[in-house]
């Protein structure tokens, strides 16, 4: 049985771990600092069957296939799959996973989805509802640009605080065992400080990251010094700076421990991505290409993985609403 | 610990039940056959602060407030909330629940969301991750019409197979105890037989309902005779007829036991809703206004609740994709 610790943290009891994982990215991500760590770098210069949405679905499918392969499982060895993406009605996941025949739970957590889906998978295994459960998410530059901002052909100027949606997917299979355990989970609350600039998602999400990370530390009586690293998903350079300030105001010093997947996946200057990478696939692919292998090999002993999401739509933005953020956290342990 | 039974069914062990519930609907639903059973019928003739989306969010908030009231809980007595809706990026849920401060998991299951969210809440309580967990969902005629079909002002002609999106929300709080127990859950698979008419969602979803209901009966060795009723969410008249045919082909006779929330919530002829009601709020509000009270009073002893969802978007439709369906099932027991 899981135990609740403090106000929000849940400590898992069953030795639930990562039994398989996979990452697939596009060319730009493949040319970034982590390029040689991803399982697969696909040619994303043209849309699949004329549809960027199909390209995104194919990324999810490829990442899941890699994860199943590492786990030594067929699709029928997975009892439940938790998946989501940024597209309206999560069609990246639906069409990407349609052919697998795995009982399917769709999620929406924006760019926090990888943590949300892993959390749901872990809880399902903990409860006995699943023996193996998978978590998958994706994003795609071309599907996100035209849905949230402007048509690709328009060639709009990007603001300095804007981030670059990664073309990437990550998939994880959880079960009892595995060399990386999910020790604790901390589900995020919706945090909204009134930021309403849709070109500055980092600033909208930083307060949520602070809220979840600080709540977790308080619940567990730990500090950043107790972890090898604290990963956020895609705060980028603007949001990361804000996070450090906010956490400092709460009495913790995160500075040297903080890493942001959105800053890691691209060489921000050389690749001209302004404030860094973003999208559900950013944290998911960095998790599967860098964080999990580092934990498996013991080079990391324990880390916090805390991707953030901006829970807005173009409609809410057009109606003048601010951008609520959320951040879900997992404590991942080696061995 | 939950136990897996057969291929897909999960039997819960902890005596998890409904400790609170609430339903809120619009005027048209309030004038329907179940009108006097809903907790609240709101005036939905004008948008809230000029926004139909805000109106929908207010429905979710009102339903949750009713459910908390019946449970005798404040928001801080709920450890996790699972919520979703039909709007792009699930903004109905985000903005409806933003002020409560409850750890939040966004879901997307289209019109199956009430079952998906209750399933996640039940698994969370079963695992020990939550003592109390809530499930909420909503839909709104005016937000859905303009997002999925045509602007309201356009006054487009509706096809005979089209359904009428309900303006409704339902909320449930689960915990150990309660007079209605969640006995079993059966998570749906994505089922797609190639139906691509966005004005005939019932036909797209019926195969998924058949798949889940028949899988559950096979897993548990039961038949429709073992239940007082088998509820689907919003197949409407077209989808319901198809479901009965499909289930018959699988060797079960569902006919006299089948009820569809989409056919119950409106007087189809008098209220001119063509094939019936639809939307996440349809199954959710009928559950909270009719099914749960009937179980609480013992007039129903045990029922299956199996709402269906159509996992499409306008983009997938415009790209010529078919409409994948999904159906999630809960076995609800009185006492």
Q: What digits encode the pLDDT tens for the residues A54-112?
A: 999 999 999 999 999 999 999 999 999 999 999 999 999 999 999 999 999 999 999 99
Structure tokens at B276: 């019936």
Query: Out of B101, B108, B127, whose CB is closest to A84?
Result: B108
Which pLDDT does position B239 carry in this prediction? 97
Is the distance from CB of A102 to CB of A74 less than 8 angstroms? Answer: no
> At A243, is the pLDDT very low, low, confident or very high (cuts 50, 70, 90)?
very high
pLDDT of B231-260, one tens digit each? 999 999 999 999 999 999 999 999 999 999
Residue A315 reports pLDDT greater than 90:
yes
User: Number of CB pairs < 8 Å for A and B?
Assistant: 192
Segment B198-210, tens digit of pLDDT:
889 999 999 999 9
Mean pLDDT of A139-146: 95
User: In chain B, what residues touch A321 (CB-CB under 8 Å)?
Assistant: 91, 95
The pLDDT assigned to B101 comes to: 97
CA distance B113 to chain A (A): 9
Q: Which of A13, A92, A129, A280 to mutate to probe the B interface, most B CBs <10 Å?
A: A129
Task: Provide the shortest C-alpha distance from residue B332 to chain A (in Å).
Answer: 17
Nearest to B315 among A2, A91, A130 (CB): A91
For chain B, what is the mean pLDDT?
A: 96
* Residues of chain B with C-beta less than 8 angstroms from the C-beta of A126: 127-129
Q: How many residues can be counted in chain A? A: 335
For A115, nearest residue in chain B (alpha carbons): B105
| Two tokens, residue B313 | 């978007």
* Count of helices and strands (H, E) across chain A: 11, 17
Q: CA–CA distance from B286 to each of A108, A112, B35, B139, B328 (Å)?
A: 25, 32, 10, 13, 16
Over residues A30-52, mean pLDDT = 97
What local confidence, expressed as pLDDT, does residue B150 receive?
87
Residues B105/A120, Cβ–Cβ less than 8 Å: yes
Phi then psi dihedrals of residue B41, to 5 deg: -115, 115
Question: How close does chain A come to B16, measured CA to CA in Å?
Answer: 12
Measured in angstroms, the CA of A123 and the nearest CA of chain B are apart by 6
Q: What percent of chain B has pLDDT over 70?
A: 100
pLDDT tier for residue A124 given thresholds of 50, 70 and 90: very high
Q: For residue B299, what pLDDT is reported?
A: 98
Cβ B91–A313 below 8 Å, yes or no? Answer: yes
| Cβ-Cβ contacts under 8 Å, A130 against chain B | 4, 10
For residue A279, is it left (φ>0), alpha (ψ between -120 and 50) or beta?
left
Rounded Cα–Cα distance for residues A80 and B1 (Å): 17
pLDDT at A335 over 90: no
Token pair for residue B251? 């060797």
Which residues sit opposite B173 in a β-bridge?
B20, B134
Output the pLDDT for position A198. Answer: 82
How many angstroms separate the CA of residue B190 from the nearest CA in chain A? Answer: 6
Q: Look up the ipTM and state it.
A: 0.97
Distance CA B37, CA B45 (A): 21
Q: Please answer yes or no on whether B94 and A8 come within 8 Å at the CB atom.
A: no
Residue of A nearest to B147 (CA): A315
A84 chain-B contacts, CB cut-off 8 A: 106, 108
Q: With an 8 Å Cβ cutoff, are A313 and B89 in contact?
A: yes
pLDDT, one tens digit for every residue, chain B (335 residues): 999 999 999 999 999 999 999 999 999 999 999 999 999 999 999 999 999 999 999 999 999 999 999 999 999 999 999 999 999 999 999 999 999 999 999 999 999 999 999 999 999 999 999 999 999 999 999 999 999 988 888 888 889 999 999 999 999 999 999 999 999 999 999 999 999 988 899 999 999 999 999 999 999 999 999 999 999 999 999 999 999 999 999 999 999 999 999 999 999 999 999 999 999 999 999 999 999 999 999 999 999 999 999 999 999 999 999 999 999 999 999 98
Neighbours of A221 (CB within 10 A): 9
> How many other C-beta atoms are found inside a 10 Å radius of the C-beta of residue A299?
10
Q: Choose among B103, B119, B120: nearest Cβ to A8.
A: B103
State the pLDDT at residue A118: 98
CA atoms within 13 A on the CB side of A298: 1
The CA distance from B276 to the nearest CA of chain A, in Å, is 22
């Amino acid at each position: 049985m899981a135990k609740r610790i403090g106000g929000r943290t849940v400590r898992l009891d069953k030795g639930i771990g990562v039994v398989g994982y996979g990452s697939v990215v596009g060319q730009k991500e493949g040319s970034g600092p982590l390029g040689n760590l991803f399982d697969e770098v696909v040619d994303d210069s043209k849309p699949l069957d004329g549809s960027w949405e199909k390209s995104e679905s194919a990324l999810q499918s490829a990442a899941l296939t890699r994860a199943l392969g590492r786990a030594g499982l067929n699709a029928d060895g997975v009892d439940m799959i938790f998946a989501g993406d940024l597209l309206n009605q999560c069609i990246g996941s639906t069409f990407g996973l349609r052919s697998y025949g795995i009982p399917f739970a769709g999620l929406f957590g924006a760019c926090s989805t990888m943590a949300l889906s892993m959390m749901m998978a872990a809880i399902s295994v903990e409860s006995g509802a699943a023996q193996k459960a998978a978590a998958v998410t994706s994003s795609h530059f071309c599907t996100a640009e035209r849905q949230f901002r402007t048509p690709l052909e328009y060639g709009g100027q990007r603001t300095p605080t804007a981030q670059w949606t990664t073309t990437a997917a990550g998939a994880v299979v959880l079960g009892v065992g595995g060399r990386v355990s999910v020790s604790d989970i901390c589900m995020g609350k919706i945090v909204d400080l009134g930021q309403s600039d849709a070109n500055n998602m980092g600033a909208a999400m930083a307060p949520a990251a602070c809220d979840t990370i600080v709540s977790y530390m308080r619940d567990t009586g730990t500090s950043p010094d107790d972890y090898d690293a604290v990963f956020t998903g895609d705060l980028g350079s603007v949001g990361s700076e804000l996070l450090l300030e906010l956490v400092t105001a709460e009495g913790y010093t995160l500075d040297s421990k903080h890493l942001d997947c959105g800053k890691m996946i691209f060489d921000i200057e050389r690749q001209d991505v302004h404030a860094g990478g973003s999208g559900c696939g950013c944290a998911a692919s960095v998790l599967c290409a860098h964080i999990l292998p580092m934990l498996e090999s013991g080079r990391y002993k324990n880390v916090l993985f805390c991707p953030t999401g901006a829970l807005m739509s173009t409609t809410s933005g057009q109606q003048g609403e601010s951008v609520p953020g959320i951040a879900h956290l997992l404590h991942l342990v080696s061995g």
